[in-house]
Amino acid sequence: MEPILPPYSIQTPIYITPPSSPHFRESSLSPSPPLSVCSESFISLVPHCSCKDKKIERQRERNIVRERERSTILTKMELPRFVIGAAEAESMAKEAGLTSLVQLLPILVASAQKLARPPISNYHVGAVGLSSDGRIFLGVNLEFPNLPLHHSVHAEQFLFNNAAANSAPDLRFLAVSSAPCGHCRQFLQEIRNSTDLQLLITDNQNDSNFKPLSQFIPHPFGPNDLLHKDTPLLLEPHDNGLILDFNLSNGYTRDNPNLENSALQAANGSHAPYSGCPSGVALMDCEGKIYRGSYMESAAYNPSLGPLQAAVVAYVAGGGGGYEKIVEAVLVEKTGAKVRQEDTTRLLLRLISPQCAFRVVHCGCPSSVCRKASNLCE
């Protein structure tokens, strides 16, 4: 190969053979074909820091900072917890060097996933939501062995139930470990102005931006299609006006009035505008602690969350251990309800806590309250 000479000045060719080349180690008796470059090309081969190198270095530094921030936050989340108060959330974000609470949500998703209980799928899902009052709520998926899969609780349902139980006014931002399934996208429709809810899927490394729910469910069917505009939606105050009716309880005696009153309170806070059949469950563990859950309906019916599942969410979020520690349960539901929870609740309880004592107390409501509730559904 003829050497390429520069068009000016030095007429001596420059030969460069990379040390890593196999020809470099061969005997001089069999020289490799020389690589010839002009002096200008030689200059370009001198090591220097390119723009690409600078970008890589800046990215590496950002990753180090992120890991430091993540470590600071995760240290505070070593103990199981499902609610972070506004002041503490602000402090956590500040200590981690974050500029907003929204940036805290995806960092907390991994902590939420560790709290999931999916013994069937072993697929841990975590969800973290931010309310307008500055509080942060966590949600996880729950699965129950020996029961049909539709009894499972999805992480987004857990989160919304957790927020409702703690009187959150709304949820503005939601970060989830995996893309919400169709079941959950439908359930998310039950809040006011749901299309404005901002979602982030943390397992999508190519997109770290929150997007409105309207992009995840472009042609929604929800409360606006079935309910009067004044009907309270999920996360809004509910008062179903129910009262206990012991005349319909077949000789039932009030062995644990605190548990019954708690179940009644849950039933009065139940979101059941589609069936008009609110209900609530209260659980008591072996330490005497009480956990209550309200039945939550969906406009599409199937994503509805039963009152026992809601109470189990409260049990898990409240630091409850194994389900076998649940020793007593009371269900409150309306007399002659078209949607009855008794049989399903009894089945689920028998399998997760076989020794649990279970009772049903029926309730009614003053006729004026019942008429008002009926009118809201028209």
- Got the DSSP string for 202-252? TT-TT----EEGGGTSSS---HHHHS-TTS--BTS------EE-GGGSSS-
DSSP structural state of residue 179: P
Q: Which two tokens stand for residue 218?
A: 């472009």
User: What DSSP line would sit under 30-60, residue for residue?
Assistant: SPPPPEEE-HHHHHHTS----HHHHHHHHHH
Longest dimension (CA), the chain: 114
Q: How many residues does the chain have?
A: 378
Q: Could you tell me which residues come within 8 angstroms of residue 52 by beta carbon, excluding any fewer than 6 positions away? A: none
Q: With contact defined as beta carbons under 8 Å apart, do 126 and 139 qualify?
A: yes
Contacts of residue 68, defined as CB under 8 A and 6 or more positions apart, other chains included, come to none
- Active-site residue identified among 26, 61, 88, 156: 156
39-53 b/e with 16+ CB inside 10 Å = b? eeeeeeeeeeeeeee
Please list, in sequence order, all residues whose beta carbon lies within 8 angstroms of the beta carbon of residue 363, skipping any fewer than 6 positions away: 242, 243, 244, 245, 264, 267, 332, 333, 334, 335
- Catalytic residue flag (residue 57): no
Q: Six-digit token pair at 294?
A: 């309200």
Residues labelled catalytic: 156
